[in-house]
Amino acid sequence: MPMAQCAGSACCRARRPGGESAREIFIYPRQLEDLAIAIPGIGRAQAIVTRPQLRDEITVRLSLLPDADRDAVMAAAPGRFNALSRLKADRIEVVGAEELPADAPFVVDRKDA
């Protein structure tokens, strides 16, 4: 299938490296990078996908910069994550910078954990 016809279809998304599936849609590291770039005050962002029962749950973890407006970030993050990934996060959490170091993965799959 030519890439022009394939763009966005499930067969092509499954071949892209680095993403994790949640609710039949892939979350890619670049989407979390874009989230951190788009909202002032976010230093790093990470999505964790779990499946406590029968439904995938998405937790977005944010590490804020020291001068961040926490209320503004928390107001903007859900809508921006949805716009970037086409998924609704079940939870948005603010964590300390030490919990989200520079080498932490952007997307973590804990569905089978």
CA distances from 23 to 12, 61, 62 (A): 16, 19, 21
pLDDT for residue 14 is more than 50:
no
First to last CA, the chain: 35
Residue range 53-86, pLDDT digits in tens: 889 999 999 999 999 999 999 999 999 999 999 9
46 neighbors 81 (Cβ within 8 angstroms): no
pLDDT category at 5 given cuts 50, 70, 90 is very low
Measure the CA–CA gap between 13 and 49, rounded to whole angstroms. 17
Predicted TM-score (pTM) of this structure: 0.81
Q: What is the pLDDT of residues 33-60, one digit of tens each?
A: 999 999 999 999 999 999 998 899 999 9
